[in-house]
Amino acid sequence: MSYIAKPKVTHPKLPRNKLGLTERDYEGSVSTLCAGCGHDSITAAIVQAVFELNIEPHMLAKISGIGCSSKTPTYFVSESHGFNSVHGRMPSVTTGANAANRDLMYIGVSGDGDSLSIGAGQFVHAIRRNLNMCYIIENNGVYGLTKGQFSASADIGSKPKKGLPNQQEPIDAVSTALSLGATYIARSFSGDKDQVVPLIKGAMLHKGFALVDIISPCVTFNDHEGSTKSYAHTRQFYHHVVDMDYIPPAKEIKAAYDEGSSMPIELHDGSKILLRKVDTEYDPTSRAKAFKYLRERFNAGEIVTGLLYIDEGRPEMHELMGNVDTPLSQLSLESLRPAKGELERILRGYR
Partner 1 sequence: MSVINDVVIKIATVNGTGSASANGLLRKAIFRMGVPVVGKNFFPSNIQGLPTWYEIRVTGDGYQSRSNRTDLMVAMNAQTYEKDMAEVIPGGWFLYDSTWPRSKLLDRDDITVIGIPFSKLCNEHFDGVRTRILMKNIAYVGAIAALLDLDLDVITQLLEETFGDKKHLVASNMEAIRLGYDFASEHFKCPLPSKVKSMNGTKGQVVIDGNTAAALGCVYAGATVGAWYPITPSTSLMDSFRAFCSKYRVDPETDKRTYAIIQAEDELAAIGMVLGASWMGARSFTPTSGPGISLMTEFIGFAYYAEIPAVIFNVQRTGPSTGMPTRTQQADILSCAYASHGDTKHVLLFPADPGECFTTAVQSFDLAERLQTPVMVLSDLDIGMNDWMVPEFEWDDKYVPDRGKVLSAEELENMDKFYRYLDSDGDGITYRTLPGSHPKGSFFTRGSGHTKLGGYTENGDEYQEVVDRLLAKWETARTLVPKPDIQYSKLNKSALLTVGSGNGACLEALDRLASQNIGLNYCRAKAFPFSDEVKEFIDKHEVVYVVEQNRDAQLKTLLMLDIDTNPAKLVSLLHYNGMPLNAGFVVEKVLEEIAKGRAA
Residues that bind partner 1 (CB under 8 A): 2-3, 56-59, 61, 63, 73-74, 78-86, 89, 91-101, 103-104, 121-122, 124-125, 129, 318, 321-325, 327-331, 333-338, 340, 342-344, 346-347, 350-351
**Residue 156's binding partner out of Mg ion, partner 1, ligand TPP, none, with CB under 5 to 8 Å set by partner kind:** none
Residue 169 CB, nearest approach to ligand TPP (Å): 17
Cβ neighbours, 10 Å, residue 27: 19
* Closest CB to Mg ion among residues 40, 311: 40
Helix or strand holding residue 39 (H, E): helix 38-52
List CB contacts of 301: < 8 A, sequence separation 6 or more: 237
Partner whose binding site includes residue 220, from ligand SF4, ligand TPP, Mg ion, none (CB under 5 to 8 Å by kind): ligand SF4
Closest listed residue to residue 170, CA positions, set 307, 41, 294: 294
Tell me which long-range contacts 230-234 makes (C-beta under 8 A, separation of at least 24). 231/38, 231/191, 234/189, 234/191, 234/303
For partner 1, which is the closer residue by CB, 63 or 242? Answer: 63
User: In the complex, which residues of this chain contact ligand TPP (CB under 6 A)?
Assistant: 66-69, 87, 111-114, 138, 140, 142-146, 151
195 binds, among ligand SF4, ligand TPP, Mg ion, none (CB under 5 to 8 A by kind): none
Q: How far is the CB of 129 from ligand SF4 (least distance, A)?
A: 29
Backbone angles phi, psi at 263, to 5 degrees: -150, 110
In angstroms, the CA 47 to CA 42 distance is: 9
Structural contact between residues 88 and 117, judged by C-beta atoms closer than 8 angstroms: yes
At residue 231's C-alpha, the angle toward residues 227 and 206, to 5°, is 110
Q: Between 31 and 195, whose beta carbon lies closer to partner 1?
A: 31
Q: What's the one-letter identity of residue 259?
A: E
- Using Cβ positions, the residue closest to ligand SF4 within the complex turns out to be 144
User: Least Å distance between CB 119 and ligand TPP?
Assistant: 8
114: partner contacted, choices partner 1, ligand TPP, Mg ion, none (Cβ within 5-8 A by kind): ligand TPP
State the nearest-atom distance from the C-beta of 318 to partner 1, in Å: 8
In DSSP notation, 40-65 reads HHHHHHHHHHHHHTT--GGGEEEEE-
As measured in angstroms, the least distance from the Cβ of 135 to ligand SF4 is 19
Q: Are 78 and 58 in contact (CB under 8 A)?
A: no
- Residue numbers at the binding site for Mg ion (CB under 5 A): 111-113, 140
Contact between 57 and 3 under an 8 Å Cβ cutoff? The reply is no
Comparing CB distances to ligand SF4, the nearer of 94 and 220 is: 220
How does strand 303-310 pair with strand 238-247?
parallel
Q: Which is nearer to ligand SF4, 207 or 229 (CB)?
A: 229
Residue 7 phi, psi dihedral angles, 5° rounding:
-65, 135
Kindly list the residues in this chain that would bind ligand SF4 in the complex (CB under 6 A): 33-34, 37, 39, 68, 140, 144-145, 218-221
- Using the minimum distance from each CB to ligand TPP, give the nearer residue, 133 or 265: 133
Identify which of residues 67 and 160 has a Cβ nearer to partner 1 in the complex. 67
Q: How far apart are CA 258 and CA 270, in angstroms?
A: 22
319 binds, options Mg ion, ligand SF4, partner 1, none, Cβ within 5 to 8 A by partner type: none
Residue 161 C-beta: closest distance to Mg ion, Å: 14
DSSP letter for 75, please.
G
**Residue 98 CB, nearest approach to partner 1 (Å):** 7
Pairing of strands 60-64, 105-111: parallel
**Of 210, 81, 220, 96, nearest in space to 147 by CA:** 220
The distance of closest approach from Cβ of residue 257 to ligand SF4 in the complex, given in angstroms and rounded to an integer, is 38
Binding partner selected for residue 79 from ligand SF4, partner 1, Mg ion, none, CB under the kind-specific 5 to 8 Å limit: partner 1
